[in-house]
């Protein structure tokens, strides 16, 4: 079945530092890939996605490139802000008949210090 392996946290960075959170996946075919973010006290929200190999998803300064050769979808940001402190989840879909669900990675807690 589909699975996601995500970089363990927590990650602590200073403001304006470069961020990379690693994500690799195992799946049949080439599914869409997603990054979700959970800010403190809130539910998850979609951060970005890529629907096919070599696609780059981007949003709010974050980027991730779908690399089928390495089955990876690493999240990057060139200059993090304190407001980026949150938990980040890599995810891919799983289909079973008409059912649809997302399989999430373990999550990476990011803390950005001023």
Partner 1 sequence: KAGVTQTPRYLIKTRGQQVTLSCSPISGHRSVSWYQQTPGQGLQFLFEYFSETQRNKGNFPGRFSGRQFSNSRSEMNVSTLELGDSALYLCASSLGQGKYTGELFFGEGSRLTVL
Contact residues for partner 1, defined by CB under 8 A: 32, 34, 41-46, 49, 89, 91, 93, 95-107
| For partner 1, the closer CB: 32 or 65 | 32
57 in Cβ contact with 50 (< 8 Å): yes
Shortest distance, position 51 Cβ to partner 1, whole Å: 8
| For partner 1, the closer CB: 20 or 101 | 101
| For partner 1, the closer CB: 57 or 84 | 57
Nearest to 6, CA basis, from 69, 83, 71: 71
CB atoms inside a 10 Å sphere around CB 94 = 16
Shortest distance, position 15 Cβ to partner 1, whole Å: 27
39 in Cβ contact with 105 (< 8 Å): no
The two structure tokens encoding residue 19: 């961020």
| For partner 1, the closer CB: 22 or 104 | 104
Token pair 């998803």 is found at 57
Shortest distance, position 107 Cβ to partner 1, whole Å: 6
């Amino acid at each position: 079945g589909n699975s996601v392996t995500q970089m363990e946290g927590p990650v602590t960075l200073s403001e304006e530092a470069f961020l990379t959170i690693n994500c690799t996946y195992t799946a049949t075919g080439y599914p869409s890939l997603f990054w979700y973010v959970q800010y403190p006290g809130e539910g998850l929200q979609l951060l970005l996605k890529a629907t096919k190999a070599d696609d780059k998803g981007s949003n709010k300064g974050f980027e991730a490139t779908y690399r089928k050769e390495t089955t990876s979808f690493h999240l990057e940001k060139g200059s993090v802000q304190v407001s980026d402190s949150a938990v980040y989840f890599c995810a891919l879909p799983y289909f079973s008949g008409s059912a649809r669900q997302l399989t999430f990675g373990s999550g990476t807690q990011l803390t950005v210090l001023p």
